Amino acid sequence: MIKKYLNRRVLGVSDYLFCGLLALAFTASSDYIQTGSFTPSVGYFAAAFVLFIILLLSACFLCTCLAKSAAVKVPERGFLKFVSRVMESRFHIFIVACLIFICWLPALWFLYPGTLINDTWGELIQFIKFTAGDPVLSDHHPVFDTFLLGAMIVPFSQKTGEWHYAIFFWVLLQSFLTSLAFSCTVDFVYKKLKPGIRAVLLMILFYCLLPIYPASTQTVSKDALFSWIYVFFTVAYLEIVFSEGESLRKGWFLTGISLLSVLCCLTKKIGFYVLLPSFMLLFLFLRKNRIRLLIPTAATVIVMFVILPFVFMKLEVQPGGQQEKYSLPFQMTARYLKDYGEDVTEEEYAVIDKVLNADIIARDYDPTWADPVKRHYQKGTNEDYLPYLKVWFKMGFRHPDAYLAAANSMLAGWFSWTEYAPLMDMEHRNQLDTQYIPKTVAIRYISEKTAASYKMMFDKLYENPFTKLFFTYGFYASILPAFFASTVLRKGNGRKRYWLAFIPFFLSLVLGCWMAPASVHLEGMRYLYPITYTIPLMFMWCVYIIEIGKQENKKGTY
Q: How far apart are CA 272 and CA 291, in angstroms?
A: 20
| Nearest residue to 192 via CA among 147, 125, 239 | 239
pLDDT tens track, the chain, 558 positions? 455 545 556 778 888 999 999 999 999 999 999 888 998 899 999 999 999 999 999 888 888 877 776 555 666 667 788 888 888 888 999 999 999 999 999 999 999 999 999 889 999 999 999 998 887 888 888 999 999 999 999 999 988 989 999 999 999 999 999 999 999 999 999 999 988 888 899 999 999 999 999 999 999 999 999 999 999 999 999 999 999 889 999 999 999 999 999 999 999 989 999 999 999 999 998 878 889 999 999 999 999 999 999 998 888 888 766 667 788 899 999 999 999 988 888 898 888 888 888 888 888 888 888 888 877 555 667 778 888 899 999 999 999 999 999 999 999 999 999 999 898 988 888 888 889 999 999 998 888 999 999 999 999 999 999 999 999 999 999 999 999 999 888 765 555 688 899 999 999 999 988 888 888 766 558 899 999 999 999 999 998 888 876 666 555 544
**What Å distances lie between residue 143 and 56, 177, 267, 375, CA to CA?**
46, 21, 8, 21
pLDDT value of position 153 = 95
Q: How far apart are CA 459 and CA 463, in angstroms?
A: 6
Contact yes or no for 437/125 (Cβ under 8 A): yes
**Eight-state DSSP code of residue 477:** I
pLDDT value of position 357 = 81
Contact yes or no for 377/321 (Cβ under 8 A): yes
Q: How far apart are CA 313 and CA 310, in angstroms?
A: 5
Q: Where are the domains of the chain?
A: 2-71, 78-318+422-555, 324-408
Contact yes or no for 213/178 (Cβ under 8 A): yes
| Nearest residue to 545 via CA among 505, 503, 486, 504 | 486
pLDDT value of position 558 = 45
Q: pTM of the entire structure?
A: 0.93
Contact yes or no for 107/211 (Cβ under 8 A): yes
Angular region, 116: left φ>0, alpha ψ -120 to 50, beta rest: beta
DSSP 3-state of 98: helix
Q: Which residues pair with 318 in a beta bridge?
A: 138
Backbone angles phi, psi at 531, to 5 degrees: -75, -50
